[in-house]
Amino acid sequence: MRNRPLWTVALLMTGSLLAGCGLSAGGAPPLHVKPGSIQPVPELAGVELTVGSKDFSEQLVLAYLAEFALSAAGAKVRDLSNIAGSNSGRDALVTGQVDLMWEYTGTGWISYLGKEDPIPDDAAQFEAVRKEDLARNGIVWSLMAPLNNTYAFAMSRKNAERLGIRTMSELAKLVKEQPQEGTFCLESEFASRNDGMPGVQKTYGFEPAPGNVKLLGIGPIYQAVANGGTCNFGEIFTTDGRVLALDLVVLADDRNFFPRYNASVTLRKETAAAHPQITEVLRPVAAKLTNEVVLKLNAEVDVDGKDPAEVARDWLVREGFVRLP
């Protein structure tokens, strides 16, 4: 019993730790902002909103953009970004752990709605996902951004100059004329999607020689393409900061094959109905998110090693949406 004071202290400390962080997920956004061109909205004052995201740089930046914009409008925002994997993030939204999340039209169509073939037009794809996901799962899609984070093939600057290739059609021609140069690094997922390699081969009419297709993780693919030894061509995402950092040349999809992956805000039906102001607050932000803008923001995170929250806040400040406190 001599140790009683120590015990008490230990118990109190454990208790306060649990109360502080253990029992509910998510915390306050890591930085503070003041209203700029986004002004406080009376209907959102004090409303608790949880913003979720998947676990890659672009999703983190997008989530923080929404968080800062909504806090400037007066909402009480909880940050639940960085959820591992698309499916887990989506489940968090559907079950109500998350109120709002940026999602890509192609992902919604193919992964969540189980479709096999994409629709080759931004607006039509968005409209199709919006209609079906609302009817089937009660998820509202709104505010499609210009940002289209789709697939593309890339090559190193050196290989691009050596082979003189800029478009997918030229790639197809190369594979037919010099099969040994047609080496590809793909993710296993991409290799089996209709809107991935099987569709590319069908649309552009070529077939890599056996053994020339290598399956890698997405991270290693960027490096392997940059090295240029393992493969001349690699599957990449158009808005990934590593495209800039590794000086990759992205081939033009001249037959418009790859699906649309426009980022859009997704919410549950109830949330959207209860707080229609959310989309109004985010509308001007979403409208400015083009591939060029987001590619640079992603590179600030992936290449310069900046914090995604800081990158998001600084851009909002530069654009005048919010002010620093």
Partner 1 sequence: MSSPVRQAGRLQLFAEPIAVLLIVTAVLVWAFTGELDSIEQRNITFANILTLTWEHLQLTAAISVIVLLAGVPLGVLVSRRWARHIAPLVLGLATIGQAAPAVGVLVLFFLLTGQTGFWIAVLPMALYALLPVLRNTLVGLQQVDRTLVEAGRGIGMSAFTVLRRIEFPLAIPHVLAGMRTALVLAVGVATLAMFVNGGGLGSMIDTGYKLRRTSILVVGAVLAAALALLVDWLGGLAERRLGPKGLR
Question: Least separation, in Å, of the C-beta of 100 and partner 1?
Answer: 21
Cβ proximity to partner 1: between 197 and 278 the closer is 197
Cβ proximity to partner 1: between 25 and 213 the closer is 213
Cβ contacts of residue 177 below 8 Å, gap of 6+?
Answer: none
Residues 215-254 that bind partner 1 (CB under 8 A): 215-217, 219-220, 223-224, 227, 229-230
Structure tokens at 33: 């902002």
Size (the chain), residues = 325
Question: Least separation, in Å, of the C-beta of 315 and partner 1?
Answer: 29
Size of the site for partner 1 (CB under 8 A): 28
Distance of CA 288 to the CA centre of its chain: 16
HSE, side-chain direction, 13 A CA sphere, residue 63: 32
Rounded to the nearest 10°, the torsion over CA 25, 30, 35, 37 is: -100
Establish if 92 lies at the interface with partner 1 (CB under 8 A).
no
Angle formed by the axes of helices 57-72 and 277-287, nearest 10°: 130
Q: In this structure, how many other beta carbons lie within 10 angstroms of the beta carbon of residue 46? A: 7
Taking the C-alpha atoms of residue 67 and residue 78, their distance in angstroms, rounded to an integer, is 8
Question: Least separation, in Å, of the C-beta of 42 and partner 1?
Answer: 40
Which residues make beta-bridge pairs with 183? none
Cβ proximity to partner 1: between 81 and 86 the closer is 86
Query: Which position among 193, 242, 275, 313 is part of the footprint of partner 1 (CB under 8 A)?
Result: 193
Mapping DSSP to helix (H, G, I), strand (E, B) and coil, where does residue 309 land?
helix
Cβ proximity to partner 1: between 8 and 227 the closer is 227
Query: Which position among 111, 142, 277, 279 is part of the footprint of partner 1 (CB under 8 A)?
Result: 111
Question: Which residue type occupies 277?
Answer: Q
Would you say the C-alpha torsion 174, 180, 186, 190 has a positive or negative sign?
A: positive
Question: Least separation, in Å, of the C-beta of 291 and partner 1?
Answer: 23
Establish if 214 lies at the interface with partner 1 (CB under 8 A).
yes
Would you say the C-alpha torsion 227, 230, 232, 234 has a positive or negative sign?
A: negative
Question: Least separation, in Å, of the C-beta of 232 and partner 1?
Answer: 14
Report the run of H or E that residue 202 belongs to, with start and end.
helix 197-204
Segment interacting with partner 1, rule: CB under 8 A, options 63-71, 93-101, 185-193, 265-273? 185-193
Establish if 116 lies at the interface with partner 1 (CB under 8 A).
yes
Question: Least separation, in Å, of the C-beta of 262 and partner 1?
Answer: 19
Establish if 276 lies at the interface with partner 1 (CB under 8 A).
no
Instruction: Using CB under 8 A, list all residues that contact partner 1.
Output: 85-87, 110-112, 114, 116, 185, 187-189, 191-194, 198, 214-217, 219-220, 223-224, 227, 229-230
